[in-house]
Amino acid sequence: MLIIGNLCSVYAQIDSSQYHTSINDSVVTVDTAAIDSNKTKPKTSSNSGFNSKVEYKSADSMKFDVAKEKVYLYGKGEVYYETTELKADYIELNLQTNEVYARGVPDSNGVDQGTPVFKDKDQEIEANDIKYNFDSRKGLITEAVTQQGDGYIVGTLVKKQPDNVIYIKDGKLCPCEDREAKTFVKARKLKIIPDDKIVTGVANLKIGAIPTPLVLPFGIFPNKQGASSGVVLPEYGFSPDQGLFLRNGGYFWSVNDNLDFLLTGDIYSRGSWGVALGSNYKRRYKYTGNVDLRYTDLFTENEQTLAVTEERIYKIYWKHAQDLKANPYQSFSADVNIYKNNRLDINSSANDYLSNSFKSNLNYTRKFGNSPFRLTLNSSYQLNRDTTAQFVLPEATLNMDRIYPFKRKYKIGRDRWYEKIGLTYSTNFRNQLKGHQDSIFTNEGVKDMQNAMKHNFGLNTSYKVMKFLSWQPFVNYSEHWEFKKLNKSWEDIDTSSNMDTVRQFGIVRDTLQEFGRYGTWDAGMNVSTKVYGSFRYRSGPIKAIRHVMTPAIGFTYRPDYTNRNYVKEVRTASDSLVNTYSIYDGSLSPYGTAPIGKESGSISFSLRNNLEMKVKSKKDTVKGEKKIKLLDQLNFATNYDIFADSMNWSNMSVIANTNLFNFFRINYNGDMDFYVVEDHIINENETRIRVNKFELNENGRLGRFNNHRLGINFSLGNKKQQERKKEKLKKMKASPYTYQNIPWTMSFGYTFNYNRPISQDTVIITQSLQFTTVINLTENWRFEGMTNFDFEKNEFGYTRFSIFRDMNCWEARITVVPKGGQQNYNFSINLKPSMFKDLKVERKRNYYDFN
């Protein structure tokens, strides 16, 4: 029976409950020129062995053999059954035995086209031909290629088992994404256990199809997606200072997808050893974090005296971040970085090495519903390069957002002047320790603990005056609660026996554990406005230049504190001399010494400048213009003390910065003194002091600069240009010996410091130059470098450079720090895929190896 129709593609769906045969021993041929697949569906026999529906289609034609219960698909045939997919240019589907056979079709040159692609769940296999039984889920495949992790496996003959385990004869394991790579592991037998491992028989590593001496009696390669528990093989090598070593070996335990632990250890033949415990954890939509604990017992031997020195090094690192979606009212974060002994610091990253301090912080914030209050609990630890430390535990702050207490509940008309008055409030409790790293937590260190509490109240508002002026009056009050007091007395004979009593040049300092309070306040106002000036061009690329000036004047008043009850007197060696002091001394309080000075009032003057240019731009299709900032800011500021009896003017600060063309930035800070400096004899010593004479009157200049700081940063690169030309360059036929459009970045930083101390007739100048670069010399070569040069010392500072080479399946890197406290080099060549991460050659020298 022949059915002819008009068909571009045929799509059929078979249900075993609907299939029946009406004519036996006949062939049903579906001609693509005669059948409309939307109206005609093939029928199948009722005794078909499929348990589920089979869907199939082809772009060219189908042929049905009713007697043999077979379907033949020609031209981009596709078969879908449960989780299985099969695509090929020729497919035979046996509806009786539940088997399928697929292969490619040779073209005019005899090359097979449309070879089979088989997929079962996440496993995909490309083959020359394939036989597969849908019932037993077994298959026989020839010339198969399948991707496993970061690499490919090629096999001459492949058997697929129902559990998706694959057995391969004459296989190649290519350890990179290039299936045609010249580097591979050749094995007569391979076994692939999905999401677990790959097992081989006798295997040989070949590079460039040339066998290497590396022959393994068997191989086991991890093939599990995600993390899996197992032994971590150590690195081995030799250190001139520490001897033979095994490093970073241990065990990795993957508890689940959200938690893992890594325990590793180091051991050296000359006695040094170390242990480390790391962990990563997370909870979806809740938090993420990681922990790293390290301890090292390092033994070094002096080459001359042969004396052995032991150094104990530890580091505690913890980082925790709460997801923003976890809780809108409270959050917790942690960033802990505590170490002991500089060597651990030097052996870490360049950023750590160049840092002057290491900071740790724990922070908890709580918001109270719709109220304006917010509570913050904080603990911090700061360790400086000189091993001095500051530990804060705890610090509690309660902040109140600005409220308007005089605002009417029901507004009628405009706001009245008093309704704009805002009130702010905050209270802070702080407990801290300061001292040397090794003594801060001793009994003596704890005795010097500083703790106090402070309440801050503020009233402020802002009004428009004469439309152009902004007037901002304010009043601030601070209430201090102190828990320690200082008592000073003069003793001719040291009779102190209390450990809290310290003798200082005849003055005895007694620390009293008593509660006390004092208050401070200040008031003032600020007035500012903006002045605009512009110049327009009728022709040329520049359309306009705009200058914005923001002049401001302010006044601040602080009362007299000389007669407060916390201000005391103590006589000195001479009965005629008396010193005043505050019983709330800065050595006892985290908020500093309570003020004891006379009343003060200062008028502040400032002028801010901004300069912009508007130019024509073809990229802006709306206005045809763009703005360019010529000068981000040029600011001048000074103060005038109305209560001082002389030299009322403070130094004038000058701040300027600009960013030209988005790659050239200039920053400047200066300090100008209006008064003259003269030489005077004080206590038979000649010294330089400021006198009440203006530079303008004496030397004909506005002032004398004491400090200059100039920073110039210059960055270049073609990363953006490369992205814009990426598609265009793909179409160009470049020389095989030239890499077109090399991506690179380069930055220079120059710093100049000028300092002229008042007491010295000398000038201190320091200069340094910083340089960093990343250059992709070719598609496979990359150079990275950074250094800085100190002009005063006439030597280079921290310097590091590295060269990276991408060799398809392999990668090589050499990193060198040629000098300084972090001197080291590291050379490595290794295969890229993680399953081959231990197949590498590595050579290291750390700072302690260079004696």
pLDDT digits (tens, 9 = 90+) for 511-520: 888 999 999 9
Helix (DSSP H) and strand (DSSP E) numbers for the chain:
5, 59
What is the band of 22 on the pLDDT scale with cuts at 50, 70, 90?
Answer: very low
Around Cβ 39, how many Cβ atoms within 10 Å?
A: 7
Given this model, what pLDDT does residue 292 score?
Answer: 94
* Res. 652: pLDDT tops 90: yes
What does the alpha-carbon distance between residue 385 and residue 387 come to, in Å, rounded to a whole number?
A: 5
Amino acid, single-letter form, for residue 282:
K
**C-alpha distances out from residue 432 to 339, 592, 760, Å:** 19, 12, 37
What does the alpha-carbon distance between residue 279 and residue 320 come to, in Å, rounded to a whole number?
A: 12
What does the alpha-carbon distance between residue 709 and residue 608 come to, in Å, rounded to a whole number?
A: 19
What is the band of 226 on the pLDDT scale with cuts at 50, 70, 90?
Answer: low
598 against 846, higher pLDDT: 598
CB 657 within 8 A of CB 666: yes
Residues 562-595: tens digit of each pLDDT: 989 999 888 776 566 778 899 999 888 999 999 9
What does the alpha-carbon distance between residue 116 and residue 141 come to, in Å, rounded to a whole number?
A: 10
Q: Residue 791 has what DSSP assignment?
A: T
Structure tokens belonging to residue 771: 């340089």
- Please indicate, yes or no, if residue 83 is contained in any of the structural domains: yes
CB 204 within 8 A of CB 219: no
* Res. 24: pLDDT tops 80: no
> Which range of residues forms the domain containing residue 112?
1-122
Least confident residue range of 18-22, 537-541, 551-555, 721-725 = 18-22
Given this model, what pLDDT does residue 17 score?
Answer: 36
- Please indicate, yes or no, if residue 5 is contained in any of the structural domains: yes
* Res. 283: pLDDT tops 80: yes
- Please indicate, yes or no, if residue 179 is contained in any of the structural domains: no
Least confident residue range of 126-135, 161-170, 210-219, 488-497 = 488-497
What does the alpha-carbon distance between residue 348 and residue 845 come to, in Å, rounded to a whole number?
A: 14
**C-alpha distances out from residue 535 to 612, 613, 690, Å:** 11, 10, 44
Classify 696 as helix, strand or coil.
helix
What does the alpha-carbon distance between residue 295 and residue 733 come to, in Å, rounded to a whole number?
A: 56
- Please indicate, yes or no, if residue 228 is contained in any of the structural domains: no
* Res. 281: pLDDT tops 90: yes
* Res. 331: pLDDT tops 70: yes
CB 796 within 8 A of CB 786: no
- Please indicate, yes or no, if residue 74 is contained in any of the structural domains: yes
- Please indicate, yes or no, if residue 396 is contained in any of the structural domains: no
Q: Which residues of 653-685 are buried (b: 16+ CB within 10 A; e: fewer)?
A: bbebebbeeeeebbbbebbbbbbbbeeeeeeee
What is the band of 175 on the pLDDT scale with cuts at 50, 70, 90?
Answer: confident
What is the band of 730 on the pLDDT scale with cuts at 50, 70, 90?
Answer: very low
Structure tokens belonging to residue 391: 């530990």
Given this model, what pLDDT does residue 41 score?
Answer: 40
Residue from 164, 174, 125, 177 nearest 146 by CA: 125
Structure tokens belonging to residue 216: 């393994």
Percentage of residues in the chain with pLDDT exceeding 70? Answer: 85
* Res. 50: pLDDT tops 60: yes
Classify 546 as helix, strand or coil.
strand
- Domains in the chain: how many in total? 1
Given this model, what pLDDT does residue 694 score?
Answer: 92
Given this model, what pLDDT does residue 554 score?
Answer: 96
Residues 58-104: tens digit of each pLDDT: 988 889 888 888 899 999 999 998 889 999 999 999 988 889 999 99
What does the alpha-carbon distance between residue 325 and residue 241 come to, in Å, rounded to a whole number?
A: 51
Given this model, what pLDDT does residue 623 score?
Answer: 73
Contacts of 331 (CB under 8 A, 6+ apart): 322, 364, 365
- Please indicate, yes or no, if residue 373 is contained in any of the structural domains: no
Beta partners for 805?
Answer: 781, 812
Report the mean per-residue pLDDT for the chain.
82
Percentage of residues in the chain with pLDDT exceeding 90? Answer: 38
What does the alpha-carbon distance between residue 674 and residue 651 come to, in Å, rounded to a whole number?
A: 7
* Res. 3: pLDDT tops 70: no
675 against 53, higher pLDDT: 675
Given this model, what pLDDT does residue 345 score?
Answer: 42
Q: Which residues of 137-166 are buried (b: 16+ CB within 10 A; e: fewer)?
A: bebbbebbbbebbbbbbbbeebebeeeeeb
Residue 327, phi then psi, degrees to nearest 5: -155, 120
Given this model, what pLDDT does residue 42 score?
Answer: 41
CATH of the domain at 88: 2.60.450
- Please indicate, yes or no, if residue 508 is contained in any of the structural domains: no
Q: How far is CA 10 from the centre of its chain?
A: 54
Residues 754-803: tens digit of each pLDDT: 998 887 778 889 999 999 988 888 888 889 999 989 888 888 888 888 99
CB 506 within 8 A of CB 492: yes
